[in-house]
Amino acid sequence: MKLAAAVALFALAAHAEVTVTIDHNRGKAATPAFTFARVPSPVRDDAATATKLELIAGTIDRNSAGLAALTDGRLPGNEDEPEANLFFRGDSWGGRFRVDLGGVIDLAAVNSYSWHPNTRAPQVYRLYASDGTDPNFNPMPGVKIDLTTCGWREIAFVDTRMKEGDEGGQYGVHIADDRGSLGRYRYLIFDVFETESDDPWGQTFYSEIDVVAKK
């Protein structure tokens, strides 16, 4: 199908086994059902549903639904629905937030979803994880701290931007590991970056994040 372009990228993070799968729905392929060629559609009962999200750095745009939009299981009904997405303030670098899963789980996958007609559609972020047991563990590290020195591990760098073509539409990202587990973790940190700085409108509209526990 022409409308559903799909690209697979492999993360060059600490773990060579970590795979980042990116799907991009353009035009009519982008629907409120968030159906992708390979990336699973969002689910309501994932491990992130009952989690606690906390902002560590950055400013959430006042027109955004805030962090709650990421785990409420609700999806936007159209491509430009600010009140159904998390996005950071325009003209800023982005932001950092933490997900507390409430206890250590065997993490099978992390999926993220976004939808916007143009430059606020692609996703650019670093994902870190921690079990919280390192003696140097810093539960709320600021952006000037090297996370790998305080109990955090970089899981993946996600960048769905394309070299050419229309970047608007819907993106689904699936972060997983060939062995079936990304590791045992309690906390996740998302370092979210603007997709471009040519104008103030480079803050991605994140619709949902799913955290999948290994069965």
Residues that bind Ca ion (CB under 5 A): 69, 72, 74, 208
The CB-of-72 to Ca ion minimum distance in angstroms stands at 5
Which DSSP category does 172 fall into? E
The CB-of-79 to Ca ion minimum distance in angstroms stands at 15
Instruction: Give the angle 72-213-48 at the CA atoms, nearest 5°.
Output: 20
β-pairing, 153-159 with 206-213? Answer: unpaired
Question: Under a CB-based contact definition with an 8 Å cutoff, are residues 169 and 27 in contact?
Answer: yes
Is the sign of the CA dihedral 137, 58, 187, 204 positive or negative? negative
The CB-of-10 to Ca ion minimum distance in angstroms stands at 28
Choice between 82 and 139, CB closer to Ca ion: 82
Choice between 75 and 101, CB closer to Ca ion: 75
In the bound complex, which residue of the shown chain has the CB atom lying closest to Ca ion? 208
Choice between 21 and 85, CB closer to Ca ion: 85
Choice between 114 and 130, CB closer to Ca ion: 114
The CB-of-92 to Ca ion minimum distance in angstroms stands at 21
Choice between 110 and 147, CB closer to Ca ion: 110
Rounded to the nearest 5 percent, the helix, strand and coil shares of the chain are: 5, 40, 50
CA–CA gap between residue 107 and residue 186 (Å, rounded): 9
The CB-of-74 to Ca ion minimum distance in angstroms stands at 4
Identify the CA nearest to 128 among candidates 116, 140, 113.
140
DSSP E strands: which ranges in 28-120?
A: 52-58, 94-116
